[in-house]
Structure 1
Amino acid sequence: MALRGILGFEYGIVQAPLGPDISGPELVAAVANAGGLGLLRAPDWESPEYLKELIRKTRGLTDKPFGVGVVLAFPHEENVKAILEEKVAVLQVYWGECPQDLVVEAHRAGVKVVPQVGSIEEAKKAIDVGVDAIIVQGREAGGHVIGQEALFPLLPRVVDLVGDQDIPVIAAGGIVDARGYVAALALGAEGVSLGTRFLATEESYAHPLYKKKLIEFERTEYTDIFGRARWPNAPHRVLQTPFFNEWKSLPAHENEANQPVIGLSTIHGKEKEIRRFAGTVPNLTTTGDIESMALYAGEGVGLIKEILPAGEVVKRLVEGAQLLIQQKFSEI
């Protein structure tokens, strides 16, 4: 068990692509500058020129490589073309099958492809099409969760499936500190992907009240009440806020389409109304009833006690893991 970089990055620390625009250039650049893999989040609609601007803005803040996350459930072909034209280091894909022609096209452009999976079946398909790494997401993760299995039972099975192939396995779901990092390494992962911990950083584009709630609340729940009309059959994990506890038994036929507007937000340059039960998280521009919006968070949120600079998060993960391994495991 040892700490090492993955995919050419100094450390095996991945900052998840927080949607819809929470992991912006400032956060991604801060993670990159600290030696981790930062991931922008592409818009959930075709906006290739805007995405290119986002990539170029990030490059203005760091000379280190980084990546872009794309949700395959939404229109994405033009956005992917833009990513490949810009030759970012990593294309991360999620919530949809990663086709072999996409992998071939990305490799032709010098871009590595890293899908996020939630089952052994998805992992097998990813290996078969020649991906460069695999993120294994457990049910403990915040935001939209594609699988039903807990991370630590699933992770070693994917590691065994990969075997001696040069495909790093990255663990995601509920990991927020060095202890989770070391636990994932012990199960065969070569890196970890963190969402909630990087959400609660100075550079994340999340609304200040959202960040405050990440410190205030310790419990989450796996649900489907947010965003049913826009993204059906897409369960997610959110903070157990008073609003959520009041509405968590929302009847299956209800969704955000006929609900009142509770806020406004500018998302990836577009002004949007936010209706009650919409799946849109509040960013820095959001106004309205913030506490009644979707506040995604993973099960590890109770371990987050302060808002930190993103670079400090990377530093504490790496140095804490090194110390743990030296103190606890060096003589085993």
Structure 2
Amino acid sequence: MGWRGILGFDFGIVQAPLGPDISGPELVAAVANSGCLGFLRAPDWEAPDHLRELIRKTRTLTDKPFGVGVVLAFPHAENIKAILDEKVAVLQVYWGECSQDLVLQAHRAGVKIVPQVGSFDEAKKVVDVGVDGIIVQGVEAGGHIIGREGLITLLPRVVDLVRDRNIPVIAGGGIVDERGYVAALALGAQGIVLGTRFVATDESYAHPTYKKKLVDLERTAYTDVFGRARWPGAPHRVLETPFFQEWRNLPSDENESNQPVIGYSTIHGVEKEVRRFAGTVPNATTTGDIESMAMYASAGVGLINEIIPASEVIKRLVEGAQSLINKQFAA
């Protein structure tokens, strides 16, 4: 299967489902065409027809398998039905219960299911329901973070938990280059998932200003400043932009609901207002005060110094990891 293949893919590299629609068909197809697993992101509302269109558009750009990610904290039943009807390769679920019934539904449709977890207890809950893999997210990850443990301590515990169950473990959180890839393999993972590194690619649907900030800035913060009303109790890691530094101590009783509109964005085909402190990152359609919007990024963002094609990200990861192991560790 090639270098550290997982779940039937050539390489053990996964492109995270980047919200709200940053990982569109172009990015996912580019990742799939490079032999890796790319994820579309389902809308955070019921939109089965739109989701089918996304899946079908992706299939016009690649004949390779790919997946769709769903946040279970939001309405999702019709979206999951559309995903299973379309028989994508992998369903990724996050921030909610990955029930045995959901696993059975996926398997009846011929779809593999991989939950993302942020704690050992969460991992224990999913191993017995027949999942096809587990993504372990460390607190170093960008975007919304479900746990509070660092990847280097959480990952080996989950690997030990599933050692005799033939469930591949995929590591995520702060990984952007071949050194992170090799470190994850050393801790027992069979693959890695990257979000921020794929946001900073030519094919990503992120706004150009967002991409530039990922190159220019190198500090992140774990916070709950953005999106408190829409998604309460969902901390996240963001770039320390000048806007965030000014408002990082936002009083706990403040949220985006009574804030001014600072821009507009078309998200999954729907035009939406963007209010100050909203948790919506700017995509390619976004207008307004881009600098004052949320910009999710992992703790490894300081290692990103250029915007490159997704295929080049993958090439560097694969060749770099092979070289690192063969030249530096083989002896």
Identify the residue that residue 293 of structure 1 maps to in structure 2: 293
1:158 aligns with 2:153: no
1:230 alignment partner AA: R
Gaps of 5+ in 1: none
Identify the residue that residue 207 of structure 1 maps to in structure 2: 207
Counterparts of 1:279 and 1:129, CA distance in 2: 32
Gaps of 5+ in 2: none
1:113 alignment partner AA: I
Counterparts of 1:314 and 1:70, CA distance in 2: 24
Identify the residue that residue 100 of structure 1 maps to in structure 2: 100
1:292 alignment partner AA: S
User: Kindly, what percent of the aligned residue pairs are identical?
Assistant: 78
Counterparts of 1:257 and 1:149, CA distance in 2: 30
Give the deviation of 1:107 after TM superposition.
0.3
Q: How does 1:32-111 map to 2 (within 5 A)?
A: 32-111=32-111
Identify the residue that residue 140 of structure 1 maps to in structure 2: 140
Give the deviation of 1:164 after TM superposition.
1.9
Identify the residue that residue 231 of structure 2 maps to in structure 1: 231
Counterparts of 1:110 and 1:166, CA distance in 2: 18
Q: 2:3 touches 2:10 (CA, 8 Å); kept in 1?
A: no
Identify the residue that residue 255 of structure 1 maps to in structure 2: 255
Counterparts of 2:36 and 2:310, CA distance in 1: 10
Counterparts of 1:214 and 1:203, CA distance in 2: 15
Give the deviation of 1:310 after TM superposition.
0.3
1:294 alignment partner AA: A
Between the two proteins, the alignment pairs up a number of residues equal to: 330
Counterparts of 2:303 and 2:16, CA distance in 1: 18
Give the deviation of 1:293 after TM superposition.
0.2
2:16 alignment partner AA: A
Partner SS state of residue 60, structure 1: helix
Counterparts of 1:164 and 1:99, CA distance in 2: 21
1:192 aligns with 2:192: yes
1:269 aligns with 2:269: yes
Give the deviation of 1:330 after TM superposition.
1.3
1:130 alignment partner AA: G
Give the deviation of 1:128 after TM superposition.
1.1
1:117 alignment partner AA: V
Identify the residue that residue 119 of structure 1 maps to in structure 2: 119
What are the Cα deviations for residues 79-135 of structure 1, in whole angstroms up to 9, with x where unaligned?
000000000000000001101000001001000000000000010111011100000
Identify the residue that residue 23 of structure 2 maps to in structure 1: 23
Give the deviation of 1:3 after TM superposition.
3.5
Counterparts of 2:6 and 2:49, CA distance in 1: 30
Counterparts of 1:160 and 1:174, CA distance in 2: 22
Identify the residue that residue 243 of structure 1 maps to in structure 2: 243
Partner SS state of residue 159, structure 2: helix
Counterparts of 1:202 and 1:157, CA distance in 2: 36
Counterparts of 1:195 and 1:12, CA distance in 2: 14
1:23 alignment partner AA: S
Counterparts of 1:229 and 1:128, CA distance in 2: 34
Counterparts of 1:198 and 1:277, CA distance in 2: 24
2:242 alignment partner AA: P
2:81 alignment partner AA: K
Counterparts of 1:211 and 1:291, CA distance in 2: 12
1:218 aligns with 2:218: yes
